[in-house]
Amino acid sequence: MKLVRHGPAGAEKPGLLDGRGRVRDLSGHVADIAGDVLLPEGLARLAALDPEALPLVEGRPQQDLRLGPCVSLVRKFIAIGLNYADHAAESGMAVPAEPVVFNKWTSCIIGPDDDIRIPQGSTKTDWEVELGVVIGKPAAGVSKAEAMAHVAGYCVVNDVSEREWQLERGATWDKGKGFDTFGPIGPWLVTADEVPDPQNLSMWLEVDGRRYQDGSTRTMVFGVAELVAYCSTFMTLLPGDVITTGTPPGVGMGQNPKVFLKGGEVMRLGIEGLGEQTQKVVA
Whether the CB-CB separation of 162 and 176 falls below 8 Å is answered with: yes
71: CB partners within 8 A, 6+ apart: 5, 33, 34, 38, 134, 155, 185, 189, 240, 242
Predicted confidence (pLDDT) at residue 93 exceeds the cutoff of 80? no
Q: How far is CA 231 from the centre of its chain?
A: 17
Domains of the chain, earliest start first: 69-282 (3.90.850.10)
Give kind and range of the element (H or E) at residue 224.
Answer: helix 224-232
Q: For residue range 171-214, list pLDDT tens digits in order.
A: 889 999 999 999 999 999 999 999 999 999 999 999 999 999 99
Q: Rounded distance, CA 264 to CA 20, Å?
A: 33
What does the pLDDT look like over 205-226, one tens digit per residue? 999 999 999 999 999 999 999 9
Beta-carbon count within 10 A of 32 CB: 16
> Which ranges of 48-185 would DSSP assign to H, the alpha helix?
85-90, 144-147, 163-167
| Cut 0.85: pTM above it | yes
Return d(Cα 125, Cα 105) in angstroms, integer.
17
